[in-house]
Amino acid sequence: MIDEEKRPNILFIMADQQRADSFGPNRHPCANFPVLEGMAEESVVFRRFYTAAMACVASRHV
């Protein structure tokens, strides 16, 4: 059994139809997510996530 004090906090965020330039250092000037970017600086981030869906289909349907 895992000790309550040693259990990691895991937060999985999956955006629906998020473009590559909407987050991170190369983001579009109109995209502003300071809280998420602050969390990403202290987290594990998957930078190459792919889906089998076409661009016009929401990722949650795959």
Residue among 23, 46, 49, 17 at smallest CA distance from 36: 23
Domain range holding 35? Answer: 13-62
Query: What integer pLDDT is reported at residue 29 of this predicted model?
Result: 82
- Residue 18 domain flag: yes
What is the chain's alpha carbon radius of gyration, rounded to the nearest angstrom?
A: 15
Q: Decide if 23 is inside a domain.
A: yes
Is 21 part of any domain? Answer: yes
Other beta carbons within 10 Å of 28: 11
The whole-number pLDDT of residue 5 equals 75
Residue whose structure tokens are 């190369």: 26
Q: Is residue 51 part of a domain?
A: yes
Whole-prediction pTM: 0.48
Number of structural domains the chain divides into: 1
In a domain, 7, yes or no: no
pLDDT, averaged in runs of 10, over the chain (62 residues): 74 73 76 83 77 68 60
